[in-house]
Copies of this chain bind each other. A is one copy, B any other.
């Protein structure tokens, strides 16, 4: 939830995140961000050293949160119930703060962020997330299903965008599908129960 009163630094982050996601990082100029805030480009440079550093500032938070969640998962036994609880926690955190918007920004600017250090950090920790949901000897179809569980939680926005589902409905349905997928993978691993 965005605060009603924010300092300038935080307002720059919010406007930039929205514009970068909507139009793309490269297609969004600092002039546009400044204009929407009612200031000039030069003012932005008081708060951030560069355009790149605006991105860094909100990616850092996402990377740290994901790393904490992965640390929790790695300390737990690798059971089916751990995986269910992991997915629940992942979904819950995604709805807090700027996390969902940052993931959407990342997905839609994969190429522009290809060599960005923070982007690589998020990609690496997402790979650890994927590893947590997988077993070493899972065949490829099971790996794909585990990945789709993660993707389901990120992608609610592109499902039936014209229909008026509430955010809560979308989040709930996405979590349900994600849990069904990890359950299906668990069942596939032990066909005899």
- A-side residues, CB < 8 A to B, are 21-27, 108-112, 114, 139-141, 143-145, 147-148, 151-152, 155-156, 158-160, 165, 169-170, 173-174, 176-177, 180, 184
Contact = CB atoms under 8 A, between A and B. Distances in A.
A160 B143 contact: yes
Contacts of A148: 148, 151-152, 155, 177
Given A27-B112, A140-B170, 18 more contacts: A23-B114, A26-B26, A26-B112, A27-B111, A108-B111, A140-B159, A140-B173, A141-B177, A143-B160, A144-B173, A144-B174, A145-B177, A147-B155, A148-B148, A148-B152, A151-B151, A151-B155, A184-B184
Contact of A141 (B26, B141, B145, B173): B173
13 contacts: A24-B112, A27-B112, A109-B111, A139-B173, A140-B165, A144-B155, A144-B156, A144-B159, A144-B174, A144-B177, A145-B177, A147-B158, A184-B184
